[in-house]
Amino acid sequence: MTTVSRDLRGLVLDGVALDTPLRVQAVDALALEERAARLVSRSVKKASKVAGLELSVRCVDLTTLEGMDTPGKVRAMCARALRPDPEDPSLHPVAAVCVYGSLVAEARHALGDGPVKVASVAGAFPSGQSHLHERLEEIRRAVEDGAHEVDIVINRGALLSGRLDVVHDEIAAATAAVGDAHLKTILETGELGSYEMIRLASMIAMAAGSDVIKTSTGKLPVSATPPTALCMAEAIRDFGEQTGRVVGLKLAGGVRTAKQALGYLALVAETLGTDWLTPDRFRFGASTLLNDLVLQLRFQRTGRYPRPGDLPVD
Amino acid sequence: MTDRLEVRKTYKLFIGGAFPRSESGRTFPVTAPDGTLLAHVARASRKDVRDAVRAARGAQESWAGRTPYNRGQILYRIAEVLEGRASQLTAELEAVGVPAADARADVAAAIDGAVYWAGFADKLDMLVGGVNPVSGSFLNLSNAVPMGVCALACPDDGGVRGVLGSVCPAIMAGNSVVAVAGGPAALVTSTLGEVVATSDVPAGVVNLLTGDHAQLLPWLADHDDVDQIDLSGAPEALVGDLRARTAENLKRASLTRGAEDLRTALAFCEIRTVWHPARI
């Protein structure tokens, strides 16, 4: 389905999902890191800060992906998702909750058809190392159970050994398997080794039909960082310019503070435009971030420093 | 080597075991009585308060989890290190106009106070807690538990004892503290950070901010993550407003004035009573 060729200007991907061949160019790591560092350190104050914090809350995928997850924990998390700050009913719910496949039905039951979507990881998360038919079956099952969104991992083994067509075709098969649900494809940037590889993986994932590309599983010590976020945002922008398709971005893992979140909003706004500052196109996959956002909003609202211990752990 | 350049000390804050300048970059001058500039001391800001409370909160649980005996040992260590720093602290007090005899007496009283509270640590539970006689088949126990994070307003003219007089009993009971002192006491407050840092006190248990009471205390009184504020050294004009703020979030407001007695110890802890069914 995908052909890969190389010419003087870079790597050319030509898949059936594409109307035009897609070019993957080299990435200037130094410039990327400089620019990312500058964008995320922008100072956001007063009304803009409050707006940014509220937007961040609306963009959160409240996540629990632990071996010790229970239906009770998922129900509690869904309650928080619907009302992030018990003291402030006006605060908008988060975008989605993200759980393992076995808990999708529980989450869906708790959330009903309300504003909060249910996302499920599937496809042998987090390693992606199982047979394709099993991974696809897992995806179909999650959708049957009521998941609106499915987060899959790419086949890093195939990518790193140069079998780009395998990576592409597996994602394409997942795209078919999710049907009307949204497909978020996790690149696991911490395992890819270079920005070129991240850009290449982004392009393949988008070419294969992903609705959203996502940085990481959150299971590695290195997850979303400003340079990887910028690298992927630039890939989304370039992909959009070449094909006219809109792809979302999800940053997962390592985003713990409101300050980081505001920095990433600035990065996305500067790279992709403010059109991307909506929950449809941009997400934070996080568990602890929501608490810090709520605490910062409480401080902005009351002018008094809140007590972190007042909010639930995790 | 008479033309050697003197290396002047930068008087900084003490937050989380480190010596940062103020986040705001601001300083205030401390002068001798004749107006000579002695130092520009870091002037803590609202965000330094925030950072100090965060550090104190992070350190409090494990500090309270240490045995009272161990806390006593560490308080005694503070006294030991203070003894070695006595001449420096005395000189810093004399520089801001404290008469030599008073300066020496202040430092000596501070050292003796540290020893007093060192000895108090493992006796607190015996003095305020114990087994209560109850009519029923229950084992009823009371013991002292720390308040948590304590903000301490230390007097600007209180010298070394003004600071340690509330820091020592507070940490004795298992609290972590954010102490604020300014004015003439700023030099010794900053130096006390060096004493605490070398006395086996875990980072974050004691945080010392030099600055303006009127600017910093309202933030501490309003802070929901501060469990108590001791107003011993707060300027009289601020006390009413600060008490109103502490009422807002049910924070304990105490006035120990550095007294070395059981009442001061009780001011920094609360009594927890548990009922155990007597059947085993």
Segment A209-221 shows an average pLDDT of: 94
**Total domains, chain A:** 1
* C-beta atoms of B222 and A308 within 8 A: no
Is residue A9's pLDDT more than 80?
no
pLDDT in tens, A123-180: 999 999 999 999 999 999 999 999 999 999 999 999 998 888 889 899 999 999 999 9
More confident residue, B159 or A222: B159
Of A304, A309, A310, the CB nearest to B223: A304
Among A314, A302, A224, A263, residue whose Cα is nearest residue A41: A263
Q: Does residue A224 lie in a domain region?
A: yes
pLDDT in tens, A11-67: 777 766 566 777 788 899 999 999 999 999 998 998 999 999 999 999 999 999 999
The answer to whether the CB of B59 falls within 8 A of the CB of B71 is no
For residue B224, which residues of chain A lie inside 8 Å, CB to CB? 304-307, 310
pLDDT in tens, B92-102: 999 999 999 99
H/E element holding B187? Answer: helix B186-197
Q: Which of B23, B217, B224 to mutate to test the interface with A (most CBs of A within 10 A)?
A: B224
Which residues of chain B fall short of a pLDDT of 50?
A: none
CATH of residue A214's domain is 3.20.20.70
Predicted pLDDT of residue B279: 65
Q: Could you give the count of Cα atoms lying within 13 Å of B78 in the half-sphere of its Cβ?
A: 34
Predicted pLDDT of residue A17: 57
Q: Does residue A288 lie in a domain region?
A: yes
Q: Does residue B16 lie in a domain region?
A: no
Predicted pLDDT of residue A18: 67
ipTM score for this prediction: 0.87
Predicted pLDDT of residue A16: 60
Strands (E), chain A: 2-7, 10-15, 22-24, 60-63, 96-100, 117-122, 149-153, 182-186, 212-214, 248-252, 282-286
Q: Does residue A9 lie in a domain region?
A: no
pLDDT bin (cut points 50, 70, 90) of residue A1 is low
Predicted pLDDT of residue B199: 96
Q: Does residue A2 lie in a domain region?
A: no
* C-beta atoms of A308 and B249 within 8 A: no
Identify whether B146 is preceded by a cis peptide bond (ω within 30 of 0): no
Q: Does residue B10 lie in a domain region?
A: no
For residue A307, which residues of chain B lie inside 8 Å, CB to CB? 224-225
Q: Longest C-alpha distance within chain B, in Å?
A: 81
Of A305, A308, A309, the CB nearest to B222: A305
Q: Which of B57, B225, B245 to mutate to test the interface with A (most CBs of A within 10 A)?
A: B225
Q: Does residue A79 lie in a domain region?
A: yes
pLDDT in tens, B250-272: 999 999 999 999 999 999 999 99
**Total domains, chain B:** 1
CA distance linking residue B155 with residue A205, whole number of Å: 64
Question: Domain range for residue B220?
Answer: 39-277
CA distance linking residue B46 with residue B53, whole number of Å: 11
Our answer to whether residue A45 is catalytic in this structure is: no
Q: How far is CA A79 from the centre of its chain?
A: 22
Predicted pLDDT of residue B91: 97
Predicted pLDDT of residue B264: 97
CA distance linking residue B248 with residue A270, whole number of Å: 42
Question: Domain range for residue A187?
Answer: 29-310
Contacts of A116 (CB under 8 A, 6+ apart): A78, A81, A82, A93, A94, A95, A96, A97
* C-beta atoms of B57 and A306 within 8 A: no
* C-beta atoms of A305 and B249 within 8 A: no
Give exposure, A244-260, as e/b (b: 16+ Cβ within 10 Å).
eeebbbbbbbbbeebeb
Q: Does residue B167 lie in a domain region?
A: yes
Q: Does residue A120 lie in a domain region?
A: yes
pLDDT in tens, A235-251: 999 999 988 999 999 99
Nearest CA of chain A to the CA of B13: how many Å? Answer: 21
CA distance linking residue A62 with residue B238, whole number of Å: 43
Nearest CA of chain A to the CA of B205: how many Å? Answer: 18
CATH of residue B250's domain is 3.40.605.10
